[in-house]
Structure 1
Amino acid sequence: MNLRLIKAADAILGRVATVLLPAPVVGCYGTSIRSVLFIRPGGIGDAVLLIPAILSFRNKYPKARITVLAEKRNGAVFTLCSVIDEILLYDNNGELFMALRGSYDAVIDTEQWHRLSAVVARMTWAQILIGFGTNVRSRLFTHQLDYEQSDYEETSFLRLLTSLGIAVTQTSVPFLTVPTPAASVAEVLLGELADRTFVVIFPGASIPERRWGADKFRQVAKRLSAKGVSGVVVGGEDDRGEGERIVADTGWLNLMGETSLQETTAIIERSSLLVSGDSGILHIAVGLGIPTVSLFGPGREKKWAPRGDNHIVINKHLPCSPCTTFGYTPKCPINARCMAEISVDEVEQAVLTLLDRKNFDKHQQKP
């Protein structure tokens, strides 16, 4: 089932089902949870930022079986979390049926707005049903929580666990684990770079409004290369030509279209920092504890931008931005000026600042 079909089904079937299904009975439940289902449709970024909540759940319930119901486009993210027992795919009919047939003490629907995931949660008939009460979907849960657009998304997911008596606590990094086979492939692909300082650029984005442009990334790569900084460009096969433009005359490595998500993660783990727009790959770097330079425009900085001194967020804060709400970004009438006004100088300087800071910290740690 493709993304467009899922959204269409949600708009029609989701609305009807949320009204027709009986609301769950809210009662007193025991504190013992032997199995849980986390539902996470959507993209890579949401999936990455859910993992701290899954780890927090595991700390509270070390013997509980954890199942995640994801999508094909984000399912691989959960292979980066070693405490998950089973990963099923929301858009695979057979695996969705397996999830519905499962026996769970609690189901946690982490979708923020769409209704079908709430319907799926209710159809498991689990006694404890937790989710965001952002619309009529709230009637299908035993525990509904508010969803705040100004909360960091990782925090929003952690708040869902308060219904189970789990406090919201700061997550330590790294919280992602790179599988050994992926690390081995990354080492081969990187070659001589594997043991050197290098920068990773991810120029992709889920929508055109979040793209900064290959020409600007190319200028950054050329300037860094002139200063002796090596680099790698990662991304999907569709953007391979863009990757070639970025690395031209730089000596950098273009690995676009040559790596799985796990292998891309392994490459980022070996790097000194990542440069990216508002993307799922950005959150992977955060989950690995890798410094980032991120470019924000349409997206909500308060909700999605990395936190901490090792991350530099560049955002022009135009009056019309952010314009994205619940994952929807309207077509921009001014050609994404919020991204276009970010300069090559700003990005280059941010990269050099983080590299200098990283080198300083490394020297400080020496005996």
Structure 2
Amino acid sequence: MQLLKGLDSCIGRIAVWGAALIPQRLPVGPPCSFLLIRPGGIGDAVHLIPAISAIKSAYPDAGIDILAEKRNSAIFILSPYIRHVFHYDRPAELFRALCTAYDVVIDTEQWHRLSAVVARMTRTPVLIGYATNERARLFTHPAPYSQGEYEIDSFFRLLVPLGIEPHEVVFPFLDVPGEAVEQGDALLGEIKGKAYVIIFPGASIPERQWGAERFRKVAEMLTAFGIAVVVVGGREDERQGEIIVAGGAGLNLAGRTSLSETAAVIQKSVLLVSGDSGVLHIAVGLGVPTVSLFGPGRAKKWAPRGEHHLVIDKVLTCSPCTTFGTTPPCPIAARCMRDITVDEVCNAVTVLLTATGGLPSSCYRNKEGEERRS
């Protein structure tokens, strides 16, 4: 990721000027094949899925391919409408994508220029992408982009040249394969069939970390309520998972699941607690209630929408500070995340579980008894 960003900053502008000279083929008839370019992280890929579904609805006979990165490509397993996934960071697969004839190429990258250059190199007659910098001159249909717009809505803007207007998204919009569901059930073991809350302690950058010890206190609260806790994440999150579930507070699956298996485990949970992360967006796409912790990230663009999602954001004068995926070094040690208290998160979890019926009936009886004693 850092290499691609570095290359873009060094040669991106020059590459754009050169790519603008590449001639394009002329369009012939209605589109029958699409290539969507989606470098970047898991969250962007999740938010793109509703747009993919809209394309398939408008053009049911069309084939839809994806050009993604290894770090986000597994998300597209969760959409039944994708024909093939090529990898942007595997030269042989990138070459295959460039050699395939498409009727429409949509570059969904928001800022970096090299993906726009790749789109132009396909010589496709209809090229759509965001007009956020010099990259605009490489598209036949440049589209506007706003930092204050929900990302799903931003992706729908790319479909307007195709005659597809933005519309309300129906949740859930992710589809977990049956094999992953079976593997997820096996991993849950004795917890299968019981109410459980997912905790994801990881983050793409240190500034978005809330801390394993704090998540552990949330897990202890849930355990006292009789609700199981399951920690998910990658291998880099294993140690945090051990801290969170230490002393029998839950099950640590961090580092033990594929992305689709993680989605299967999330799908059957009653709630997910997470920072601003790709895992958070997977839960939203699966229709699972969430409590999310925002700091450097732009809540207006990335925070979940709807009554079954509670967002905790301290809204400091210096946040959000992330722009187009880049977060500057923080001179106050990510105070926007440190100021979020355990009590705030526990209260949000309790409120949402109560509202969605996720608390065991014994919790309601205990609460009524305490009220009578008081």
Q: TM-score range by the shorter chain?
A: over 0.9
| Residue in structure 1 matching 2:171, options 173, 183, 208 | 173
**Which residue of structure 1 aligns with residue 368 of structure 2?**
none
Q: Tell me the secondary structure at the aligned position of residue 69 of structure 1.
A: strand
Distance 1:287 1:109, change over 3 A: same
AA partner of residue 263 (structure 1): E
| Cα displacement string for residues 257-313 of structure 1 (whole angstroms, at most 9, x for unaligned residues) | 000101000000010010000000000000000000000010000000000000000
Equivalent pair of 1:35/1:104 in contact (CA under 8 Å): yes
Partner Cα separation in structure 2 for residue 15 and residue 9 of structure 1: 10
Pairs aligned (count): 361
Partner Cα separation in structure 2 for residue 331 and residue 289 of structure 1: 34
**Which residue of structure 2 aligns with residue 132 of structure 1?**
130
Distance 1:31 1:174, change over 3 A: farther
Q: Indicate the percent of aligned positions where both proteins have the same amino acid.
A: 57
How far the C-alpha of 1:7 sits from its partner, in A, is 1.6
How far the C-alpha of 1:249 sits from its partner, in A, is 2.0
Partner Cα separation in structure 1 for residue 295 and residue 21 of structure 2: 40
Partner Cα separation in structure 2 for residue 37 and residue 23 of structure 1: 21
**Which residue of structure 1 aligns with residue 203 of structure 2?**
205
How far the C-alpha of 1:361 sits from its partner, in A, is 11
| Residue in structure 2 matching 1:351, options 335, 341, 349 | 349
How far the C-alpha of 1:354 sits from its partner, in A, is 1.4
Indicate the larger mover: 4-13 or 111-120. 4-13
How far the C-alpha of 1:54 sits from its partner, in A, is 0.3
**Which residue of structure 1 aligns with residue 13 of structure 2?**
15
Partner Cα separation in structure 2 for residue 30 and residue 291 of structure 1: 45
| Residue in structure 1 matching 2:58, options 57, 60, 63 | 60
Q: Aligned-residue CA RMSD in angstroms?
A: 1.8
**Which residue of structure 2 aligns with residue 152 of structure 1?**
150
Q: Tell me the secondary structure at the aligned position of residue 112 of structure 1.
A: coil
Q: Tell me the secondary structure at the aligned position of residue 168 of structure 1.
A: coil
How far the C-alpha of 1:30 sits from its partner, in A, is 5.9
Q: Tell me the secondary structure at the aligned position of residue 204 of structure 1.
A: coil
Unmatched segments (≥5 aa) in structure 1? none
Partner Cα separation in structure 2 for residue 252 and residue 128 of structure 1: 51
**Which residue of structure 1 aligns with residue 255 of structure 2?**
257
Q: Tell me the secondary structure at the aligned position of residue 321 of structure 1.
A: coil
Question: What TM-score comes out, normalization by structure 2 length?
Answer: 0.94
Distance 1:34 1:248, change over 3 A: same
Distance 1:361 1:219, change over 3 A: closer
| Cα displacement string for residues 24-53 of structure 1 (whole angstroms, at most 9, x for unaligned residues) | 779995661100000000000000000000
How far the C-alpha of 1:231 sits from its partner, in A, is 0.9
AA partner of residue 358 (structure 1): T
Q: Does 1:276 align with 2:274?
A: yes
Runs of 4+ in 1 over 4 A off after TM superposition: 23-31, 360-363
**Which residue of structure 2 aligns with residue 108 of structure 1?**
106
Equivalent pair of 1:174/1:287 in contact (CA under 8 Å): yes
How far the C-alpha of 1:227 sits from its partner, in A, is 1.7
Partner Cα separation in structure 1 for residue 234 and residue 9 of structure 2: 29
How far the C-alpha of 1:357 sits from its partner, in A, is 1.4
How far the C-alpha of 1:194 sits from its partner, in A, is 1.6
Partner Cα separation in structure 1 for residue 263 and residue 39 of structure 2: 20
Q: Tell me the secondary structure at the aligned position of residue 346 of structure 2.
A: helix
Q: Tell me the secondary structure at the aligned position of residue 134 of structure 1.
A: coil
| Residue in structure 2 matching 1:242, options 240, 243, 265 | 240
Unmatched segments (≥5 aa) in structure 2? 362-374
Partner Cα separation in structure 1 for residue 219 and residue 133 of structure 2: 45
Partner Cα separation in structure 1 for residue 343 and residue 2 of structure 2: 38
Equivalent pair of 1:323/1:329 in contact (CA under 8 Å): yes
Q: Tell me the secondary structure at the aligned position of residue 351 of structure 2.
A: helix
Equivalent pair of 2:25/2:123 in contact (CA under 8 Å): no
Partner Cα separation in structure 1 for residue 346 and residue 23 of structure 2: 56
**Which residue of structure 1 aligns with residue 95 of structure 2?**
97
